[in-house]
Chains A and B, each alone.
Chain A
Amino acid sequence: MPRSATLREESVPLDERTLIARILDGDRVAGRQLYEAHAPRVHRLVYRLCGDADLAQDFTQDTFVRAFDQLGTFRGESAFGTWLHRIAVTVTLNGMRKVRRLRERETSLDDEPGLRSVTHRADPDLRSGIAAAIDALPEGTRLTLIMHDIEGYTHAEIAESLGIAEGTSKSRLFDARGRLRQALAAFVKE
């Protein structure tokens, strides 16, 4: 699957170190430049993870605010984008847990549909079937599948962003594909 990053995101307008130094000096214009270079890809990933436009907006904002607040601790050992995506994933997962807890408190929700219920469901729509199958994956597995097979991140980038070994990323992807294959077998037979 081709990488989904756009040309605009890949060509950083100014040297990132310069921009970061300026942001640390309180330069809003530099902040905007760095934001524009990375925000579309961060927002895309966050949306794929949470599936809600309002939440994606909030989580993307939180990601950049936290990144700017902690910019002084960024040592430049990894790419800024990788560091930023790590923050985005953390913010999104924590945010989703918080939202889920709030919603559970408000209403007694039905059990989330598990993989088993997906495989046995006679859903004629492959797309909704696959969406349900992805939603039912364990968190880390789902994250890896979305980042690799949908958003086009490499295993190295996923490993850095999630703080796991590359091998773990590969095995999670293998697992995710296996579960999807199992969930979608019914559609192939039809």
Chain B
Amino acid sequence: MDDELDERTREALRGYRVPPEPPLDTMWEAIEERHFGAPVVAISSRTPASSGFDRVGRRRLGRPTWGIVLAAIAASLLIGVSVGRMSRGVAPQIATLGEGNYGWAENAEPYRQATTEYLGQTAALLTALPAAARDGQPDARFVTQASDLLSTTRLLLDSPAAATDLRLKSLLEDLELVLAQLAHLPAEHGNTEIDLITEALERRDVVPRLRSAVVSISSDDD
């Protein structure tokens, strides 16, 4: 190849099938559902022209967004609170005050399940925070997740579970503080805000306590 052709060829090669901007969020929704599964399935309405099937004929199911998952948790908490109060007339004995495992009464199953799920998701979010910060994030999606989890935290704080278990209450209060900071993170945030949140997490030993609570509550099946 002579030089002229090389240069022209190179230029033309660069123009061969120039990829569009990848639809990262849309693709992730499908991947997340197909690999991780969807606790709650919603009918997708992403594209007006969508027939509900992809190019090779597979059914496209709705996406399992954090919002939907959290809405389900919040709903189960509300149902749990209502059922508990109606059936007992007073707040049920949800957990013991002991130093060992979180003890859950028999009628507290909805709380236990919802709390385990919520704590697991919060742990995942907070664990990803330092990496997200290093990568120039947290982005809007991260903030939205924090905001959704904050709503659930407040529901749990108002539930009998927190009223009777001081250890859980203390953890939830710390989480409320951290999630509130994350949820109100300005779009143009600097490193200082993230550093303060990370510092608070470390100082209060939040993530290890969170993990320990997940293990303890989820193993409390009896």
Q: Which residues of A contact B (CB under 8 A)?
A: 1, 8, 11, 13-14, 26-33, 35-36, 39-40, 43-44, 47-48, 51, 53-58, 60-61, 64-65, 68-69, 95, 98-99, 126-127, 129-131, 134, 146, 149-150, 177, 180-181, 184, 187-188
User: Are B19 and A47 interface neighbours, CB within 8 A?
Assistant: yes
CB distance from B48 to the nearest CB of A (A): 15
Q: Chain B residues with Cβ under 8 A from A43's Cβ?
A: 19, 22, 27
Within the complex, which residue of B8, B34, B55 is in contact with A126, where a contact is CB–CB below 8 Å? B8
CB distance from A88 to the nearest CB of B (A): 13
Check if B5 sits within 8 Å of A188, measured CB to CB: yes
The residue in chain B whose Cβ has the minimal distance to the Cβ of A46 is B19
- Contacts A32-B32, A99-B55, A99-B56 given: A134-B16 contact, CB under 8 Å? yes
Q: Which of A8, A31, A40, A98 contacts B32 (CB 8 A)?
A: A31
> Considering only CB atoms, which chain A residue lies closest to B20 in the complex?
A53
**Which label, helix, strand, loop or mixed, suits the secondary structure of the A interface?**
helix
Contacts of A30 in B (CB 8 A): 124, 128
- Contact check, A61 vs B31: say whether CB atoms are below 8 A apart: yes
28 CB contacts below 8 A, A to B, read A13-B135, A26-B36, A29-B128, A30-B124, A30-B128, A31-B32, A35-B28, A36-B24, A39-B24, A39-B28, A55-B55, A57-B27, A60-B22, A61-B27, A61-B30, A64-B35, A65-B34, A65-B35, A126-B12, A127-B12, A127-B15, A127-B16, A130-B9, A130-B13, A181-B1, A184-B5, A188-B4, A188-B8
How many residues of chain B are within 8 Å of chain A by beta carbon?
A: 38
